[in-house]
């Protein structure tokens, strides 16, 4: 089964169709599904092409697991028409694809009423770090309890060293959505009330890509993250 993870789209398309048929269809169905899943995890378009090779591959390619781990790279964030991409995204959501949950969560939160974090929470539950980051950031803007929760979230081990990456992803999505930042995020939030001077040390410095962990105070770390995030979004803090 592990061997399937090294099969890439180009390997399959470098062979002729009859050899694909002979090689793949002689394998047990579970293994074929595993191969198709590997394809879809690296490129949804390679997977969709494989599905068109024959009826059997088309049927085996209907497995939910394939849609759960499918890569959504190259699919528009908000397909405007009810076209194939939209149908594909909906199928991925039905199959609990964490990236599809994240995208839906970003659309719900930033382009609608700014209230529903349901899909972001689902994405985070399925291990999507970017979704966990956004929930952490949103929580910082809530009441004292929510702010505390946000500080804990942003200091979780699974976000260690990748805050910058999650921040860039969030900013990119917000720009792609052509949306207004929810009013709640215009509130001036200070997470650490103990280290005012320390906090100012990174003000006016360029956002770092790998130095997320050189701030010892958990709350100061969140203040610094908000500084970087807000400046990326063009909001004064
Ligand atoms: Zn502090």
- Report pLDDT digits (tens) over 81-113: 567 788 889 999 999 999 999 999 998 888 766
Q: How far is the CA of 220 from the centre of ligand 1 (A)?
A: 4
Q: How far is the CA of 219 from the centre of ligand 1 (A)?
A: 5
Q: How far is the CA of 226 from the centre of ligand 1 (A)?
A: 13
Q: How far is the CA of 158 from the centre of ligand 1 (A)?
A: 21
Q: In this structure, are residues 88 and 44 in contact, taking their beta carbons and an 8 Å threshold?
A: yes
Helix (H) or strand (E) holding 162: none
Q: How far is the CA of 62 from the centre of ligand 1 (A)?
A: 51
Q: How far is the CA of 47 from the centre of ligand 1 (A)?
A: 48
Q: Over the stretch 146-178, which tens digit does the pLDDT of each residue have?
A: 999 999 999 999 999 899 999 999 999 888 877
| pLDDT band at residue 5 under the 50/70/90 scheme | very low
Q: How far is the CA of 5 from the centre of ligand 1 (A)?
A: 44
How far apart CA 4 and CA 18 sit, in angstroms, is 20
Q: How far is the CA of 145 from the centre of ligand 1 (A)?
A: 17
3 state SS of 67? helix
Q: How many CB atoms lie within 10 A of CB 212?
A: 22
66-84 mean pLDDT: 80
How far apart CA 150 and CA 137 sit, in angstroms, is 6
Q: Over the stretch 107-132, which tens digit does the pLDDT of each residue have?
A: 888 876 666 899 999 999 999 999 99
Q: How far is the CA of 197 from the centre of ligand 1 (A)?
A: 9
| pLDDT band at residue 4 under the 50/70/90 scheme | very low
- Ligand 1 ion: nearby residues, β-carbon < 5 Å: 192, 195, 217, 219-220
Helix (H) or strand (E) holding 122: helix 118-125
**178 dihedral zone (left: phi>0; alpha: psi -120 to 50; beta):** left
Q: How far is the CA of 205 from the centre of ligand 1 (A)?
A: 18
Mean pLDDT, the chain, rounded, equals: 82
Give just the sign of the alpha carbon dihedral 128, 129, 135, 139. Answer: positive
Q: How far is the CA of 223 from the centre of ligand 1 (A)?
A: 8
Whether the pLDDT of residue 7 is over 90: the answer is no
Q: Over the stretch 168-210, which tens digit does the pLDDT of each residue have?
A: 999 998 888 777 777 778 888 888 888 865 555 555 555 555 5
Q: Looking at residue 153, what is its pLDDT? A: 97
Q: Looking at residue 62, what is its pLDDT? A: 92
How far apart CA 171 and CA 189 sit, in angstroms, is 19
- DSSP secondary structure code for residue 179 in this structure: -
Q: In this structure, are residues 212 and 162 in contact, taking their beta carbons and an 8 Å threshold?
A: yes
Q: In this structure, are residues 195 and 217 in contact, taking their beta carbons and an 8 Å threshold?
A: yes
Q: How far is the CA of 148 from the centre of ligand 1 (A)?
A: 13
Q: How far is the CA of 123 from the centre of ligand 1 (A)?
A: 30
């Amino acid at each position: 089964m592990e061997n399937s993870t090294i099969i890439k789209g180009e390997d399959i398309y470098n062979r002729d169709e009859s050899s694909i048929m002979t090689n793949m269809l002689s394998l047990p169905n579970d293994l074929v599904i595993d191969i198709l899943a590997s394809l879809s995890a690296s490129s949804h378009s390679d997977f969709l092409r494989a599905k068109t090779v024959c009826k059997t591959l088309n049927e085996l390619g209907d497995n939910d697991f394939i849609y759960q781990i499918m890569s959504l790279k190259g699919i528009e964030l908000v397909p405007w028409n009810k076209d194939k991409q939209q149908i594909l995204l909906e199928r991925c959501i039905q199959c609990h694809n964490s990236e599809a949950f994240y995208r839906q969560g970003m659309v719900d939160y930033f382009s609608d009423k700014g209230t529903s974090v349901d899909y972001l929470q689902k994405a985070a539950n399925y291990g999507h770090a970017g979704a966990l980051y956004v929930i952490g950031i949103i929580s910082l803007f809530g009441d004292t309890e929510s702010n505390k929760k946000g500080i804990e979230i942003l200091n979780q081990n699974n976000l260690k060293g990748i805050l910058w990456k999650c921040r860039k992803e969030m900013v990119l999505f917000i720009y792609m959505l052509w949306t207004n930042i929810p009013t709640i995020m215009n509130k001036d939030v200070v997470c650490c009330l103990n280290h005012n001077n320390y906090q100012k040390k990174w003000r006016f410095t360029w956002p770092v890509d790998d130095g997320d962990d050189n701030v010892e105070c958990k709350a100061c770390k969140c203040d610094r993250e908000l500084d970087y995030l807000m400046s990326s979004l063009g909001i004064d803090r």
